[in-house]
Chains A and B, each alone.
Chain A
Amino acid sequence: MLTLMKQEYYKAVKQSRLYIWLALSFIFPLAIMAVFKTQRSGESVVAFGQGTLYVFLAGIIVTALSISQEFGFGTIRPLLSRRFSRGMIFASKLLLNLSVYLALFVAAFLGTMLGKLLFVSHFDLNQSFNAIGTGWQVMGLTFIATLLQMFFIAGLVLLITNLVKSSGAAIGLGVVMIVGTPILSSISAMLIHAAPILKWNPFNIYLGLAMLGMPGSAYKAVVHFSQNTVLSAYVVYLLMMYGAAYLIFKKRSV
């Protein structure tokens, strides 16, 4: 497993694309705060200068390419015709993706901190920010909620990529899931209105993740579940999506 990880990291660090993504992740919050005066606020800082949107998009692309690229380059055969099991190879891809997500967050965090220093220096992250807690705590929650949402979308993207062996469709769907929240929200509301059991639909669970941290009663009114139930359903969906993606990857003849 260590060898596989070493190989995955080696391939990743040799791609100039990775550095571009990281640089953009750093620049994005900085640029947002520099360009938009309305974003020079504590709200913007705890939201990583809206850099989470960029991190999300880049993470989805990384996920989609992690396997489809091996098919595209024709490197999938040597990757699979080795002593390692497909489970280990799949896991090494997931771990690399996770590492890239975290690196993107670190870059966005550094960009945000520089932006804060330059444009929102008066804002103190140690001070109580809202009902949740200090600026640091809210920022931490934003990080966790975004990461949980990324895992969710990444699972879906990985599943689609494995089904169609191409990243295009998967990236498209991922982008819709990220930027089309109002559409998803409407679809989910319609489904639940049609049949209350459909409150378990994945869109609703996904939307519930974005609202984690909201006061309990308000949360329940919107999502129709408690936060713990959403988290449990999230884990089940995650297992289903990653499990299905793995099974397709495992069974595929190349």
Chain B
Amino acid sequence: MALLEVKDVSKQYGRKKAMDHVSFEVAAGHIVGLIGPNGAGKSTTMRAITGLMSYSSGQITFDGQPITFSNHQALDKIGNLIEYPAIYPNLTALEHLKLYAMDTKTPADFQTLMKKTQIDGDNFGKRKAKQFSLGMKQRLGIAIALIRNPKLVILDEPMNGLDPQSVHDLRALIRELADDGVAFLISSHLLDELQKLVDDVVIINHGKIIETATMTAFFSHDKTRWLFDTSDNRAALDLAKSRAWAATLTDGHVEIDGADNLQQVITAFNDAGLIITAIQTVTGNLEKSLLDMLANDDKGE
């Protein structure tokens, strides 16, 4: 059963439709990526879910309880980091956690959370947040989103300002929490990172949901492609085309995505006397798929 249900929600600013009959669900233990270009309606959707903004029609429920602009008791079990971390410059990291933990009877263990979100080092200690770097503030923002042991965590661009190691560790933490049943709704422009993390995707453009799918289903229409380096790439390309495979020369490699299987291609090249020096498998790419999808959506308008 879905933990968060967004049903047919619309929001209009003047003539602009910021949310146009938006519907999707987030189930417990699932990590859902909310993706789309700038101004597509991602932050607006997140703000509507967190009771920060009114919506003209539709319904948002969390754990069966409605969430509206004026009624948001259900937010007790939702943590969020929307757009930028909410930091008081005169408080330390620990003081922030203490402050936000006052909201709940069952906060997360401070020390464990600080360790997991890497805000326990000497860099933090007794330093006030006004001295923190962007990455440090971001990590603290994530810790704040998690301090109340939420059932759902909404993260808007959580990887902003984080170094590669921190991004890796954050991914591991989110996966660990999701395995424990916490649901996540995450938006990010770092699609490669998102692709490694999310179970489901919700794609939004011009305030409208244009696709909701599991990651597996999302890429199911993509046939696996291969990049070949051979002793004669031009001859390899001609051969592929003569077999009616969709083949192109991409960055000096021969890219083939119309063949039934890899063995078929290797055999054909060997028979033609071409020496294969390297093969690279190219799986589904969220960024490419998203761009294709948005281009098609924009054409359709």
Contacts and interface: CB of A to CB of B under 8 A. Distances in A.
Interface residues of B, number: 32
A83 B75 contact: yes
B127 interface: no
Contacts of A221: none
Contacts of B100: 78
Contact of B90 (A14, A79, A253, A254): A14
B90 A15 contact: yes
Given A11-B88, A73-B87, A75-B87, A80 B52 contact: yes
B82 A73 contact: no
Interface stretch (A2-10, A119-127, A182-190): A2-10
A223 B102 CA distance: 49
Contacts of A15: 90
A77 interface: yes
B91 A14 contact: yes
A85 B50 contact: no
Contacts of B126: none
Instruction: Please tell me the size bucket of the interface on A.
Output: 20 to 34
Interface of B: prevailing SS? loop
A253 B144 contact: no
Contacts, number: 74
A216 interface: no
Contact of A254 (B53, B88, B144): B53
Contact of A73 (B47, B69, B80, B86): B86
Contacts of B88: 11, 14, 73, 75
Given A16-B90, A74-B86, A77-B86, 11 more contacts: A11-B88, A11-B91, A15-B90, A73-B89, A77-B80, A78-B144, A80-B52, A81-B72, A86-B70, A253-B53, A253-B54
29 contacts: A3-B102, A7-B102, A7-B103, A10-B99, A14-B88, A73-B87, A73-B88, A74-B83, A74-B84, A74-B85, A74-B86, A75-B87, A75-B88, A77-B47, A77-B80, A79-B86, A80-B51, A81-B52, A81-B75, A82-B75, A82-B76, A83-B72, A85-B70, A250-B70, A253-B47, A253-B54, A254-B47, A254-B52, A254-B53
